[in-house]
């Protein structure tokens, strides 16, 4: 059964898909009326908006499917493919725009009905602005990367449309039609950067790039609730699967602690993290017994296994320390 958050994301993308199709149609009508290369460049980018919204809708549907035997971590990473796909399409649209616009410098066509074209482009810009802000806000609230990416793309489309309007105004004021293909080329270069940023962001999540803010929050929770038996924490990792996060790390406890007690410590941490971090759906704590090299980190005063090192003064854990894979041999 689809939850309220998933329903919100679906409705937002269906709205984006419907409005995107309508705005794309209006832009192509504006191009046919004006014969403007700049408007054509904006209309071509609108095709990407529609295709990307459709793919994002499918990716959110698939990411909401429960884990199965072939995908035990779920299907959330499809959302990052969606973002990368959108970025690649944006770059393809930019290359197409350059291909169509550059020849216009050598045979500039006569433009027509510029006032109507400017009016239509301003209208589509206003709708895109409202829709883009809505998608970004909804995507951040529901932790949906495709929604945020789609919204930011629409906001970029607003800048594109404003640039197109500026070019048409310059044509209207100066009478030099070369402003039209020049504007189209500027639009293409701008959206290449937008597409590239989306591709890089997609690759980062697919490669499980660390999110410093989330790691900081996890370490902060551990420090605030630290118990004497939690000698050390290391090899902290967090992986994103769509709007869901899986966390795992190693917890070092005294060797004298029984199996049941060690298991209880791990379960207490897991429950604490799940209650504190809404995006975390799974946390695995691997329990390690302490060894002599870690005595310098231990604050236990009564320990039969302690080496020569005296009890340490407890220092708060730091993110850059707990993310490394630290072995009981004392090597880092």
Are residues 116 and 162 both part of a single domain? yes
> Which residue range forms the structural domain that includes residue 173?
4-206
Dig out the tokens for 73 from the structure.
């971590």
Q: Is residue 328 part of a domain?
A: no
Are residues 186 and 80 both part of a single domain? yes
Identify the CATH number of the domain in which residue 228 sits. Answer: 3.30.70.1350
Are residues 13 and 82 both part of a single domain? yes
Provide the residue-wise pLDDT of the chain in tens; the chain has 332 residues.
345 777 888 888 888 889 989 999 999 999 999 888 888 878 887 887 788 788 878 887 887 788 888 888 778 788 788 788 878 888 887 888 788 778 777 765 677 888 898 899 999 999 999 999 999 999 888 877 778 878 887 887 887 788 888 888 888 888 887 888 888 788 788 888 888 888 898 888 888 788 888 899 999 999 999 888 888 888 998 888 776 788 999 998 888 788 898 899 999 999 988 888 877 878 889 998 887 666 666 666 566 666 555 555 667 888 888 887 665 444 33
Dig out the tokens for 60 from the structure.
């959110």
Domain end residue (candidates: 174, 206, 238): 206
Please give the tally of structural domains in the chain: 2
pTM exceeds cut of 0.95? no
List C-alpha distances in Å: 67 to 33, 63, 70, 73, 79.
Answer: 51, 9, 8, 6, 15
Side-chain-side CA neighbours of residue 180 (13 Å): 30
Cβ-contact 322, 216 below 8 angstroms? no
Cβ-contact 91, 196 below 8 angstroms? yes
Are residues 258 and 175 both part of a single domain? no
Dig out the tokens for 215 from the structure.
């790691």
Q: How far apart are CA 187 and CA 104, in angstroms?
A: 15
Domain end residue (candidates: 157, 190, 206): 206
Ranges of H-type helices in 35-108? 37-63, 78-101
Are residues 194 and 216 both part of a single domain? no
Burial 41-67 (b: 16+ CB within 10 A, else e): bbbbbbbbbbbbbbbbbebbbbbbeee
Q: Where are the beta strands (DSSP E) in 109-196?
A: none
Cβ-contact 163, 194 below 8 angstroms? no
Residues 126/127/131/134 CA torsion (nearest 10 deg): 50
């Amino acid at each position: 059964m689809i939850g309220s958050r998933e329903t919100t994301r679906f409705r937002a993308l269906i709205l984006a898909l419907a409005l995107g199709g309508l705005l794309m149609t209006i832009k192509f009508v504006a191009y046919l009326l004006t014969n403007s290369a700049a408007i054509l460049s904006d209309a071509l980018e609108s095709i990407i908006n529609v295709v990307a919204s459709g793919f994002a809708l499918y990716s959110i549907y698939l990411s909401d499917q429960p884990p199965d035997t072939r995908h035990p971590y779920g299907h959330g990473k499809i959302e990052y493919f969606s973002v990368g796909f959108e970025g690649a399409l944006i770059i393809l649209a930019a290359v197409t725009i350059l291909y169509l616009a550059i020849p216009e410098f050598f045979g500039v066509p006569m433009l027509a009905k510029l006032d109507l074209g400017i009016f239509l482009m301003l209208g589509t810009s206003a709708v895109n602005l409202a829709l883009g802000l809505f998608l970004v806000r909804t995507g951040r609230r529901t932790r949906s990367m495709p929604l945020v990416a789609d919204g930011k793309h629409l906001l970029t489309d607003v800048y594109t449309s404003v640039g197109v309007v500026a070019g048409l105004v310059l044509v209207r004021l100066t009478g030099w039609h070369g402003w039209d293909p020049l504007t189209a080329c500027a639009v293409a270069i701008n959206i290449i950067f937008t597409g590239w940023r989306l591709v890089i962001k997609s690759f980062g999540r697919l490669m499980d790039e660390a999110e410093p803010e989330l790691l900081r929050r996890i370490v902060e929770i551990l420090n605030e609730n630290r118990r004497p038996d939690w000698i050390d924490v290391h090899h902290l990792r967090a992986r994103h699967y769509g709007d869901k996060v899986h966390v795992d790390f190693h917890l070092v406890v005294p060797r004298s602690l029984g199996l049941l007690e060690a298991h209880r410590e791990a379960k207490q941490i897991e429950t604490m993290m799940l209650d504190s971090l809404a995006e975390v759906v799974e946390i695995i704590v691997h329990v390690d017994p302490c060894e002599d090299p870690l005595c310098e980190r231990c604050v236990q005063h009564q320990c039969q296994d302690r080496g020569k090192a005296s009890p340490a003064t407890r220092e708060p854990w730091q993110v850059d320390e707990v993310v490394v894979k630290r072995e009981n041999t004392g090597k880092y």
